Amino acid sequence: MTAPSITPPAGTSAPAEPSTSAPPAPDVAVAVRGVSKVFGRRPAEAMRRLAQGASRDDVKALGTAAVIDASFDVRRGEIFVVMGLSGSGKSTLIRMLNGLLKPTSGQVLIGGENLAATDAKQLRALRRSSVSMVFQHFALLPHRTVLDNAAYPLEIQGVGKAERREKARTAIELTGLGGWEDSLPSQLSGGMRQRVGLARALAADTDVLLMDEAFSALDPLIRREMQEQLIELQQRLGKTIIFITHDLNEAMHLGDRIAVMRDGRIVQIGTAEQILSDPANDYVAQFVADVDRTRVLTASSVMVRPAVVVPVTGGPRQASRAMREAQVPAAFVVDRQRVLRGVVHDDDAVAALKAGQESVEGIVRDAVTPVSPDTPLAEIFAPAAESSLPVAVTDDTGRLVGVVPRVTLLEAMVPPDQPQTDESVPGRQATDPTPDGDAPTDRVAADEGGAR
């Protein structure tokens, strides 16, 4: 590896990352080369000391070394997560990526263009056309509708009303807020407001999205939903996403790769599995200590859509037809609010049909105890062993939000050193939806759950 502009101090294992001199490869959306940021009175002197291996603490009297010698390339279409404890330098780093902060040293290249070499006007243009940011607190304008909030960045750019509204409308559709265009932010839940924040970034149609703790203010279930939606959107639109979080679970779930920061330095960059199975140093090891994969990964990270769900108000004919079409021997039964009521089995449905019963209500059996989206995989083995049907995943209110087929659970356990044909990030692998969202693996898994 070529020596970076600042040599990492002894004892810090440097991330295997790109040389600082070579131009970025064409598939690199964002290149960060030896970037440091020192706040305070004597940044130059602090930089000299840091270059000699001083730590943030060592240079405290000279200023705050918020980011020290960060180098990484983010590939187009990648979700790159920056994770670290509070104060580790995450926000400072991301703010240098859209020019909100100027590095004390080092370079940031967006699409090959060096931010430092752009004047204020070019920088503004670049920010508008290439990089959008989604903040933790949604920064919505309270007296404007959802539509106008989403269109706001385009309005600032001087895009005409009709065009910006059309783009905003498309973005709102994408984030699942269709129908809420004319509402005011005060009429929305937190999750919906963050969707507007996301729609606003999508309306600007930039290649790169920066997200700083964007989901941290949301309650856990909405947060998972947003994570799923982000992965789906990313796959559909091919955006490059740099996502900041201090939540290990979120990092592991979202990140194609994860950079772990400590006291201003990036101490490791790798996939979730690499970081879990091969931590670069004691700090990272401690960070992920005691978490084996089955504890890091949760039901929500591997759950899939259930193959068949029938309404409790439905008839046995509807139930048996649905099971026949999906080729499964049993189906989950939910009420109007999608609250899980149990399961109905094929033979019961056929018997009820013969007996002329009008509703499946009388033949619903208890499902094996459902698990919550936060349940670690380690705790799903027991319920999964009780039945060959998938394990139901329900939220706080008992609503069915997904199922974990046994095969998915087993797949997620494949140790990283065994050859895998697919991507190596377990969460991603299991949640990848097929284009119509109705994953054939659901079918196979449920199908295999033949005998009760």
Ligand X SMILES: Nc1ncnc2c1ncn2[C@@H]1O[C@H](COP(=O)(O)OP(=O)(O)OP(=O)(O)O)[C@@H](O)[C@H]1O
Residues at the site binding ligand X, with contacts judged by CB under 6 A: 39, 64, 66, 84, 86-92, 246
The closest alpha carbon to 361, from 370, 369, 352, belongs to 352
Q: Which is nearer to Mg ion, 91 or 300 (CB)?
A: 91
Q: Which does 135 bind (CB under 5 to 8 A by kind): ligand X, Mg ion, none?
A: none
Q: Which is nearer to ligand X, 46 or 307 (CB)?
A: 46
The 3-class SS string of 120-145 reads HHHHHHHHHHCEEEECCCCCCCCCCC
- Compute the least distance from the CB of residue 245 to ligand X, in Å: 9
Q: State the Cα–Cα distance between residues 449 and 452, nearest whole angstrom.
A: 7
Q: Which does 66 bind (CB under 5 to 8 A by kind): Mg ion, ligand X, none?
A: ligand X
Q: Which does 270 bind (CB under 5 to 8 A by kind): Mg ion, ligand X, none?
A: none
- Compute the least distance from the CB of residue 261 to ligand X, in Å: 7
Q: Which is nearer to ligand X, 29 or 82 (CB)?
A: 82
Of 90-98, 162-170, 218-226, 438-446, the segment contacting Mg ion by CB under 5 A is 90-98
Answer for the pair 72, 19: CB distance below 8 angstroms, yes or no: no
User: Strand pairing partners for 210?
Assistant: 133, 242
The 3-class SS string of 274-289 reads HHHHCCCCHHHHHHCC
Q: Which is nearer to ligand X, 86 or 186 (CB)?
A: 86
Q: State the Cα–Cα distance between residues 103 and 95, nearest whole angstrom.
A: 9
- Compute the least distance from the CB of residue 247 to ligand X, in Å: 10
Q: Which is nearer to Mg ion, 4 or 264 (CB)?
A: 264
Q: Which is nearer to ligand X, 259 or 352 (CB)?
A: 259
Local structure of 410: helix, strand or coil: helix
- Compute the least distance from the CB of residue 73 to ligand X, in Å: 21
Q: How many residues does the chain have?
A: 452
Q: Does 91 bind Mg ion (CB under 5 A)?
A: yes
Q: CA separation (Å) from 57 to 4, 51, 60, 62, 64?
A: 22, 14, 5, 10, 8
Structure tokens at 53: 């291996």
Specify burial of residue 33 (Cβ count, 10 A radius: 0-12, 13-18, 19+).
Answer: buried
Q: State the Cα–Cα distance between residues 218 and 229, nearest whole angstrom.
A: 14
- Compute the least distance from the CB of residue 91 to ligand X, in Å: 3
Answer for the pair 30, 242: CB distance below 8 angstroms, yes or no: yes
Of 4-12, 84-92, 94-102, 161-169, the segment contacting Mg ion by CB under 5 A is 84-92
Q: Which does 246 bind (CB under 5 to 8 A by kind): ligand X, Mg ion, none?
A: ligand X
Q: Which does 89 bind (CB under 5 to 8 A by kind): Mg ion, ligand X, none?
A: ligand X
- Compute the least distance from the CB of residue 246 to ligand X, in Å: 5
Q: Which does 64 bind (CB under 5 to 8 A by kind): ligand X, Mg ion, none?
A: ligand X
Structure tokens at 282: 């004691």
Q: Tell how strand 208-212 and strand 28-39 pair up.
A: unpaired
Q: Which is nearer to ligand X, 100 or 326 (CB)?
A: 100
Interface ranges with Mg ion (CB under 5 A):
91
